[in-house]
Amino acid sequence: MAPLMNELINESSDRHRSVNGSHVKPRLLIIGAGSRGNAYARAVVDSGLGVVAAVAEPIDFKRRHLGSQYIWPNGEPKPEQEFSSWKDFINFETQRRKDEAAGVSVSPGVNGAFICVRDEHHVEVLTGIAPLGLHIMSEKPLATSLADCLKIERSVRANPEKIFAIGHVLRYSPHNMLLRHMVRQERVIGDILSIEHTEPVGWWHFSHSYVRGNWRKESTTAPSLLTKSCHDIDFVLWMLCSPLSASDENAHLPSRISSFGSLKQFKRERKPREAGGATNCLSCPISDQCKFSAKRIYHDKHLARGNAKWPVHIVNPEVEAMLESDGPEKATKALMDTLAEDYTTGKTPVQDVASRSWYGRCVWESDNDVVDDQYVTIEWDDDGHDRPAKTASFHMIAQSLAQCERRGRIYGTNGEIYYDSKSITVHDFDNDTTRTFNPEVPKNSHHGGGDDGLTQQFVKAIAASMDGKTSVREAQVQYLGCTMEEIIRSHAAVFAAEEARREKKIVDWRDWWGRNIERVPSKLEW
């Protein structure tokens, strides 16, 4: 398999040289200076392929923190480098373009933007910024409803064609790129018959993000299958449905989708009797014994060990800087003050409860309702074009030791593959041999290098389209390998699966698509 790895590496290097050879370095705007905005900003700077030129973020500390690291290190921000909102950026950029057209000397603009705001704000930001004609990378999910996904799709297509990427980072890790190459192009186990894919979220990670955090309620965000696992559904479709790049084949579309799941653990009736009426960990009599104690998770497990990054900086973004400048005592006090904040059910206005996260709240007393254990099954029929029937199952489970370390098995006519986040093991039935491959996992990049991989391919695609030698459409396929049609399809599969789960039925894909996907001028392809 060494020649295969060399082939992938050489192909990537050739693309890198061709883009760098044009001396084009796209200028990028980060909208949303949270953990994802910082991840993409770091990846841009580390790659050397582009320039982080500006940030738009309403929280002063977050905006200045990102800017001081990636935009104006050791200096002060210029007016064109920071904005308190994305709307302020639009107003600035609109005026800048008018001045430029009038011959006034202006600062350089930006070529593209990373959209890293909260999921429920994607539709407003993306439709608002699309008329500027920037290249766009949106964090996943595209939107929290199918209608909003289609609204974004129409808005993007109504403006000049630009690169559009989605944060389906699983496609861009070296591990998964090799896995798909082996399965789809090399066909190392023959025709695919079935795939089992699991995302173990992690027992305390789920409590952080989906019980106490931003993604805890379907009514304010979306189902956990969308907010946590939409890129896993995309991974499954990428492996079994999406056509190979530079091929004439059409997508092999699913036939049926079913799903089962529910909220099993994080419910009030499971609250330990010994906890009594406590609603906050810092006032709970069994806090020292509870594995979900906010103090144990955020302080004992992280801050007390010198780690003020994720998840601590999600709870209080100022703790990290405070630890460095003022020491652990003041950092701990700031963390504990945040964890002590609580609300009273029936007295605190519902909108106030829903508007923010409550990281010290008892996991048994939270207002969460998203699913913590779910299965999705996708079936394909034989399409009559040498693509046989196959089945995929996906399992998202909160209560797991592993944290987002995906694993699975792929069964083929000539062999079987087991994969986890670090290795790929192939057993060949024909010669009864087993080989294991360990693709390199880049340091400091999440999702097995997928964050950096997506960022680099997005910036390369922009540069390639800017140098005039490659069309936007060609750059989109060549560097990102993902079109708007695939983005909509994978999101649609999530919404179809949720309908199947809620209504306890099997969804016929063709019928569902016909009923739910609004026909738009772009004429989404089957």
pLDDT digits (tens, 9 = 90+) for 27-68: 999 999 999 999 999 999 999 999 999 999 999 999 999 999
**Which tops the pLDDT comparison, 237 or 15?**
237
380 and 510 housed in the same domain:
yes
Which residue segment(s) compose the domain that 424 sits in? 171-202+215-266+370-440+482-516
Residue 523 falls inside a structural domain: no
42 and 162 housed in the same domain:
yes
Return the structure tokens found at 186. Answer: 């090399």
Residue 362 falls inside a structural domain: no
Boundary-marking domain end, from 168, 192, 225: 168
Q: How many CB atoms lie within 10 A of CB 519?
A: 9
Residue 474 falls inside a structural domain: no
27 and 157 housed in the same domain:
yes
**What amino acid is encoded at 312 in this protein?**
V
Hunting for tokens 């007016």 — which residue is that? 79
- What mean pLDDT value characterizes the chain? 92
Q: What is the pLDDT of residues 279-297, one digit of tens each?
A: 999 999 999 999 999 999 9
What gap in Å lies between CA 426 and CA 417, rounded to an integer?
A: 5
pLDDT band at 222 (very low <50, low <70, confident <90, very high): very high
pLDDT at residue 214 tops 90: yes
pLDDT at residue 6 tops 60: no
Q: What is the CATH number of the domain that holds 408?
A: 3.30.360.10
What gap in Å lies between CA 281 and CA 278, rounded to an integer?
A: 7
138 and 180 housed in the same domain:
no
Residue 461 falls inside a structural domain: no
Return the structure tokens found at 350. Answer: 């519902």
Residue 472 falls inside a structural domain: no
What gap in Å lies between CA 320 and CA 313, rounded to an integer?
A: 6
Contacts of 186 (CB under 8 A, 6+ apart): 4
- Confidence (pTM): 0.92
Assess contact for 161 and 476: CB atoms under 8 A: no
190 and 262 housed in the same domain:
yes
pLDDT band at 518 (very low <50, low <70, confident <90, very high): low
pLDDT at 246: 66
25 and 133 housed in the same domain:
yes
251 and 387 housed in the same domain:
yes
Structural domains counted in the chain: 3
Assess contact for 394 and 233: CB atoms under 8 A: yes
Residue 92 falls inside a structural domain: yes
323 and 254 housed in the same domain:
no
Residue 459 falls inside a structural domain: no
pLDDT at 277: 95
339 and 284 housed in the same domain:
yes
What gap in Å lies between CA 345 and CA 351, rounded to an integer?
A: 12
What gap in Å lies between CA 370 and CA 269, rounded to an integer?
A: 16
Q: What is the mean pLDDT of residues 99-126?
A: 97
Closest CA to 181 of 401, 6, 398, 413: 6
- Range with lowest mean pLDDT among 21-35, 74-88, 170-184, 428-442: 21-35
pLDDT band at 351 (very low <50, low <70, confident <90, very high): very high
pLDDT at 190: 96
- Range with lowest mean pLDDT among 20-29, 168-177, 326-335, 491-500: 20-29
Assess contact for 143 and 167: CB atoms under 8 A: no
Residue 490 falls inside a structural domain: yes
Q: What is the pLDDT of residues 401-455, one digit of tens each?
A: 999 999 999 999 999 999 998 999 999 999 999 999 999 877 766 777 889 999 9
160 and 180 housed in the same domain:
no
407 and 424 housed in the same domain:
yes
Closest CA to 365 of 277, 482, 234: 277
Q: What percent of the chain has pLDDT over 90?
A: 88
Return the structure tokens found at 122. Answer: 């994607």
13 and 152 housed in the same domain:
yes
Q: What is the CATH number of the domain that holds 131?
A: 3.40.50.720
Boundary-marking domain end, from 354, 381, 402: 354
